[in-house]
């Protein structure tokens, strides 16, 4: 009487995949930020306009850093959600199997 496969309401593999994608995007963004910072450090900032550009660039690089941090945090949150969901799904599956066993015993009674 046991069903072959329980209905899956949540694709845990998809959540894991999304978490990895977000972590990869955060790493990629950190690499781009590092490259831009290194290239900017090699420039000679002599004029007033160049220094103004440097200030704006510095601010934008900071925002890139914040975006990367948020991607990392989101990746961790998705992974934590996936792990909690997997644990709860396993608990529900155990309860379902116990319930099915009980129903099977009741149905077999004369």
Query: To the nearest whole number, what is the mean pLDDT of the chain?
Result: 86
Mean pLDDT for 10-39 is 94
Looking at residue 105, what is its pLDDT? 76
**What's the pLDDT band for 108 if we cut at 50, 70, 90?**
confident
Q: What is the dihedral of CA 34, 38, 40, 45, to 10 degrees?
A: 140
Q: Which domains occur in the chain, in start order? A: 12-83 (1.10.287)
Residue 70, both tokens: 């948020």
Looking at residue 59, what is its pLDDT? 96
Give per-residue burial for 41-54: e unless 16+ CB within 10 Å, then b: eeeeeeeeeeeeee
Answer yes or no: is pLDDT of 15 > 50: yes
Answer yes or no: is pLDDT of 6 > 60: no
pTM: 0.71
């Amino acid at each position: 009487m046991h069903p072959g496969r329980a209905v899956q309401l949540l694709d845990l593999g998809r959540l894991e995949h999304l978490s990895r994608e977000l972590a990869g995007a955060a790493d990629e963004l950190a690499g781009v930020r590092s490259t831009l910072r290194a290239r900017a450090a090699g420039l000679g900032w002599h004029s007033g306009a160049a220094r103004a550009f440097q200030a704006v660039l510095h601010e934008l690089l900071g925002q890139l850093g914040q975006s990367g941090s948020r991607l990392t945090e989101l990746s961790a949150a998705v992974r934590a959600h996936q792990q909690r969901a997997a644990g709860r799904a396993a608990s529900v599956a155990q309860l379902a199997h116990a319930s099915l066993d009980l129903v099977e015993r009741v149905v077999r009674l004369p």
